[in-house]
Amino acid sequence: MTFGEDWGWGSGVEESKQIMDRYIALGGNFIDTANGYTKGHSEAIIGEHIARHPSRRDRLVIATKFLTNMYRGDPNGGGAGRKSLISACENSLRRLQTDYIDLYWMHFWDRFTPIEETMRALDDLVAAGKVRYIGFSDTPAWKVAQAQTTAVLKGWAPLIALQLEYSLLERTIEGELIPAALELGLGVTPWSPLKGGMLSGKYTRESVKTATPGRGAWVSRAFTEDAFKVLDVLTFVAQEAGTTVARAALASHRRSSARGQSISWRITWARSRSS
């Protein structure tokens, strides 16, 4: 989302390429973007860089999203309807300089389009070889269940994953979306696992008084006392484990690990104490 400076913040073209090179060199193979990120520039940066090394394409899983209206004032310029969806896919393929998208996400739920229309259009893209797999981002559990059931009954390409905001400061998905994913056999890709940087360890009660995050309220709205109470415990756990605050925060997602369960339990305990 931060590839390109078209929104007034983010990484320039060369820095973005360096980030990709470093990530791939360390074994990373999943690159996730969206047509709306930096007005399409993010996709273009990724596409131009990967196209320089064609052998990399098959080693990488490239995901992008549709739904954002790229043509303000045009009612067909965005959304999950067939016309917009197929056009968005063609444009993403062009910007990414690839013949196929490994994982194509619906960015969020379009309540104005019947889910059957969206799923059938996605199935057509899969059948055409332009998309390998499909998923939903930021969509209610009941709508995910409806979409998946419809796809299974009609023999269309099913959803394989959900992309959801998830961090120690945002755990609402544990109520319905995680159980739905488990029941329906869907993977889960968390976004903002460090809550916009709040759980990175770089913010303190003092520093936020003068902090001016590039993303503005997207980050600063997390500067609350409740958040700092969580950060206090997380900092203690990180020191106890001899690691960084960011690594401790990310480890909390690993439910199967003893350390992750410990961190999650301590945070819950801290919240109960503070209340």
* Residue 228 confidence (pLDDT) above 70: yes
Active-site residue identified among 23, 37, 71, 166: 37
11 contacts 19 by C-beta, under 8 angstroms:
yes
Q: Which fold has domain 1-192?
A: TIM Barrel (3.20.20)
pLDDT of residue 254: 64
Catalytic residue at 133?
no
Give every strand in the sheet of 159-165, ordered side by side: 30-32, 61-66, 101-106, 131-137, 159-165, 187-191
Question: Which tokens hold the place of 62?
Answer: 């490239």
The DSSP result for 148-161, as a single string, is HHHHHHHTPPPEEE
Residue 252: pLDDT band (50, 70, 90) is confident
Convert the pLDDT of each residue in 189-210 to its tens digit: 999 999 988 999 888 888 888 8
Task: Please choose, from the candidates 91, 261, 65, 264, the residue with its C-alpha nearest in 3D space to the C-alpha of residue 163.
Answer: 65
Taking CA 88 as the corner, what is the angle to CA 83 and CA 93, rounded to the nearest 5 degrees?
A: 135
Q: What percent of the chain has pLDDT over 70?
A: 92
Look over the chain and give the mean of its residue pLDDT values, rounded to a whole number: 90
Task: Record the pTM.
Answer: 0.89
Strand partners, 142: none
* Residue 146 confidence (pLDDT) above 70: yes
Per-domain boundaries in the chain: 1-192, 195-275
Q: For residues 78-100, give the mean pLDDT.
A: 97
- Out of 78-92, 103-117, 167-181, 256-270, least confident range: 256-270
